[in-house]
Amino acid sequence: MKKSIRFWPACWLALWWWCVSPVLAQKQQTVLTGRVLRASNGDPLVGASILIKGTKRGTITNRAGRYRLVLTEPVTIVARFVGFRDVEVLLLPTGKPIEQNFDLLSNDTQLADVLVAANRQDEYLQKVPVAASVVGRRDLERRSIYNTMEALNNTPNLITDSWLNSQVSFSIRGLSTVFDNVGFESTVALYIDDVYFSRSFAFNQTLMDIDRVEVLRGPQGTLFGKNTIGGVIHIISEKPDMNNNAQIELNYGNYNFRQIRAKLNQQLIKDKLAFRMTGALSLRDGYVTDRTPAIEALNKTAFFGLRGSLLFTPSDRVSLTLRGNYGRDGKAENTFVYTSKPDYNPVGVRADEGLTTNQNAPAEFTRDQYGAMGKLEVKLGRNTLTAISALNSSSDSYFSDNDISSADASRWGRSQGLRTFSQELRINSPRDQKFAYVAGLYYLNERISVTDTFTLNKDFVPVAARLLGTPIANASKFTSEGYTSNAVIQSQSTAGFVSGTFELTPKLRMSGGLRLTTETRELAYYQRIRNQFLNGKPFNIINLYATNIGSKANPETRQTTNLALSYDVGLDYRFTSNLMGYAKFVRGFKGAGFNTTPIKDSESGGLVFRPEYVNNYEIGVKAKPTERVQINGAVFYTDYKDKQELLDQGTRVRVANAPLTRGYGAEVEFSAMLKRFRLDLSAGYLNLKFIDFPFGTDDNGNPVNYAGNRLLKAPDWTFSVAPEYNIPLNDRYRVFVGLNINHTGKAYNDISNSEILARVPASIVNGRLALVPANGKWSVALWGKNLTNKLYIQHGWEYEFGNQIAWSRPRYYGVEVYLNFR
């Protein structure tokens, strides 16, 4: 098939030459000139070869990367330089001078030239004055990464955790999302293919067709908008291409792990229209074992998802991409165990041991997600106009034994939904001109709803007596009291933004940007309690936590309006073509929010909390002294005002603004490659604390101030090392061996810095051993994660009836088979 594909263009070219050669013979020779440059930084490649394919004719570039060649007939020109990918161009002699420049990319024997869209268009990472990490397709494959959380393990000053697939937390530079209150918007913004998601419901999906995952650390409010104080995680999918191919991947591992992922790419109209479809099915038993078989049977993971995309390029100046997706989770992977203190056992139940629990109700969970987006790109001269429209929806439902023990103390359920429409219109210039800019308008409309149901049951009575300071009358007759709370948030946000870079000298650039955001949010909230009556009198045990607030017909309402200006200013200086330093200041903003969890008083409990602001100062350096070594680093200082914080004590949730929060940190990333060996290192350090944080009173009425406490999910150290080695067996096969070691220092899981719930320092070791043929048609790999079986607490809550913690995953391993159909 390949021979026939190559044969026909050769015939047409020969026929064309036979017809026109008498005419061309009468014309002058064509002089071909140009430059050969490194694509990532524009450096000239000295001594690059310019060859006429199929002959021994050619030349090499001079010190400026220039070449000159004379043509007399149609030829294919090949630009070649050691360590870079060849580029071929078909040229026809015209009798007039032709200039043909070549931009070469690194090949697999050197560090790849990585792209990042920090300025809302693709640029080479080493050119962009932003602290950014990029996890590409190569990393996803060689580290056996199967979901988005795993993709972020090697990023400095970033940690992730999850106690359900729908309840995901990620923290960048000590600034974390809150996953247990939909009234809190994320501090770290999540983007998927240029589309913003204000909640992390959709975060931890099984990866299927990901081109790369970008992490932009520090505030990114000018170009990426609101709620980017901690940074941005941008997941970029593969686009359809004008080829026909397919891939399938099969996995099997312990805990009965079964996964299949597949993708198909089809060219429908030559060079005009292409289609891509991907799908994934992931099943696994739970790793926390319940002693009750009927409950244990539901402790599993089950995910199914589809994604489709269509690329239409009617001309070289117009591109339209359409995407759609659907995903469903059908099981709840329970990670909780009961962990009462040794000297405090409120419900008379011993603490669970290890990854074994004994609950009296199953954890039930379902989630459905779907969405669609369209992206139109039009070339206007050298500029590009981009329009992006998106609709997304997510809904899930969860129910569990809230006390996580064999006692029947409480049960809790939640259903929540999110519907969004967003529209963005922006125009940008090329980044290689003296003044480069991007400007645009953005609109977001959201509806978020949540319903909580909660009951206190018979085994809570001893706890209630202690809290009330008096015995409960007729305690043996008590069965259940509870509440239902409902919140609906309608929000609209509109923004205009502009950002630019001006070249002051050939080496010095100044950058700056502004974004004006206006937001309006409306809350409708009601809460109804259910009392048990005996002889006409209520027990009033549920009144410890909730009271009647509004009604379905007449809910309590609140409204907030914010008008805020975010901005940044910076300088970057290119000492050499491979060494850049930068300094920048960023003013960030996050709007006011609502406490949608159950409260005891609509006023003192605080349905509304204030917006927060941050000033961030950063100095960084980016260096790539050779094609095989790269090092990037940054130091930063953060100054917060009115930081939004939540103290989740299970049945009681309190929200407040911390007046002053400050801290500093540093991070560095290093990569090096030899002939068959590659090493990636990263390290991060954080020191962020509350300077002033009054937080009400304790149980004895004494004022509480969390000044001096560390921020939650802000480890002091993060470190990773990822060595890999390729061993050629012969001309047809090679073996790949890779390790991925990640260390996270101590981190607290709540703002009160509870030691019993803290995440202990832990080092996680992952590995992969793969056999790969030279033609890339298939591969077989053995993989293992957490090989040393290290366990740590991902998250936890302090309850009056005892504490509960969510464990990290234990050791798991499996085999992967990959097939490539071209």
Please tell me whether residue 6 adopts helix, strand or coil conformation: helix
pLDDT digits 0-9 by tens, 111-123? 877 889 999 888 8
User: What are the two backbone dihedrals, phi and then psi, of residue 164, each rounded to the nearest 5 degrees?
Assistant: -155, 160
Q: Which residues pair with 643 in a beta bridge?
A: 658
- The percentage of the chain sitting over the pLDDT mark of 90, rounded to a whole number, equals 52
pLDDT at 85: 82
User: What are the two backbone dihedrals, phi and then psi, of residue 8, each rounded to the nearest 5 degrees?
Assistant: -65, -45
What's the average model confidence in pLDDT over 624-635? Answer: 93
Lowest mean pLDDT among 384-388, 460-464, 531-535, 598-602: 598-602
pLDDT at 474: 92
Query: pLDDT band at 128, cuts 50/70/90?
Result: very high
Lowest mean pLDDT among 191-195, 334-338, 536-540, 712-716: 334-338
Angle formed at CA 760 by CA 757 and CA 762, multiple of 5 degrees: 145
pLDDT at 257: 94
H or E stretch including 365?
strand 364-380
Buried b (16+ CB within 10 A) or exposed e, 572-597: bebeeebebebebebbbbbbbbbbbb
Residue 8 has pLDDT above 50, yes or no: no
pLDDT at 699: 67
Q: What is the reported pTM?
A: 0.86
Higher-pLDDT residue of 105 and 638 is 638
pLDDT at 209: 82
Q: Which residues pair with 358 in a beta bridge?
A: none
Q: Cα 259 from chain centroid?
A: 22
Higher-pLDDT residue of 523 and 13 is 523
pLDDT digits 0-9 by tens, 285-335? 988 888 888 788 778 888 899 999 999 999 989 999 999 999 998 887 778
Higher-pLDDT residue of 208 and 413 is 413
pLDDT digits 0-9 by tens, 777-821? 899 999 999 999 999 998 888 877 778 888 888 999 999 999 988
Measured distance CA(789)–CA(436) in Å, rounded? 50
- Which segments of 89-199 does DSSP mark as H helices, in order? 137-142, 148-151
Residue 757 has pLDDT above 60, yes or no: yes
Cα diameter, the chain: 114
Residue 637 has pLDDT above 80, yes or no: yes
pLDDT at 290: 87
pLDDT digits 0-9 by tens, 476-497? 999 999 999 999 999 999 999 9
Q: Which two tokens stand for residue 339?
A: 């962990």
H or E stretch including 814?
strand 812-821
Residue 619 has pLDDT above 90, yes or no: yes
Residue 22 has pLDDT above 50, yes or no: no
- Cβ proximity of 276 and 238 under 8 Å: yes
Q: Which residues pair with 40 in a beta bridge?
A: none
Per DSSP, 504 falls in state: S
Q: Which amino acid is located at 489 in the chain?
A: I
Measured distance CA(327)–CA(732) in Å, rounded? 39
pLDDT at 205: 62
- All CATH 2.40.170.20 domain ranges of the chain, comma separated, are 236-821
Residue 527 has pLDDT above 90, yes or no: yes
pLDDT at 5: 40
For 558, counting Cβ atoms within 10 Å of its Cβ (0-12 exposed, 13-18 middle, 19+ buried), the class is middle
pLDDT at 2: 41
For 42, counting Cβ atoms within 10 Å of its Cβ (0-12 exposed, 13-18 middle, 19+ buried), the class is middle
Query: pLDDT band at 34, cuts 50/70/90?
Result: very high
Higher-pLDDT residue of 164 and 628 is 628
Topology adopted by domain 134-235: Ferric Hydroxamate Uptake Protein; Chain A, domain 1 (2.170.130)
Lowest mean pLDDT among 26-30, 490-494, 554-558: 26-30
The CA–CA distances, whole Å, from 19 to 12, 15, 22, 23, 25 equal: 11, 6, 7, 8, 11
Task: Kindly give, in sequence order, each residue whose CB lies less than 8 Å from that of residue 482, ignoring residues fewer than 6 positions away.
Answer: 453, 454, 455, 456, 529, 530, 542
What homologous superfamily does CATH list for 236-821?
TonB-dependent receptor, beta-barrel domain (2.40.170.20)
What homologous superfamily does CATH list for 2-104?
Carboxypeptidase-like, regulatory domain (2.60.40.1120)
pLDDT digits 0-9 by tens, 596-615? 877 776 554 457 888 899 99
Measured distance CA(804)–CA(810) in Å, rounded? 18
User: What are the two backbone dihedrals, phi and then psi, of residue 667, each rounded to the nearest 5 degrees?
Assistant: -155, 150
Q: Which amino acid is located at 572 in the chain?
A: D
Q: Which two tokens stand for residue 343?
A: 């000297």
- Cβ proximity of 688 and 706 under 8 Å: no
- All CATH 2.170.130.10 domain ranges of the chain, comma separated, are 134-235
pLDDT at 12: 46
Q: Which two tokens stand for residue 105?
A: 């990319």
Measured distance CA(437)–CA(125) in Å, rounded? 18
pLDDT digits 0-9 by tens, 642-670? 998 877 655 566 778 899 999 999 999 99
Mean pLDDT of the chain: 87
Lowest mean pLDDT among 231-240, 503-512, 580-589: 231-240
- All CATH 2.60.40.1120 domain ranges of the chain, comma separated, are 2-104
What's the average model confidence in pLDDT over 513-520? Answer: 95
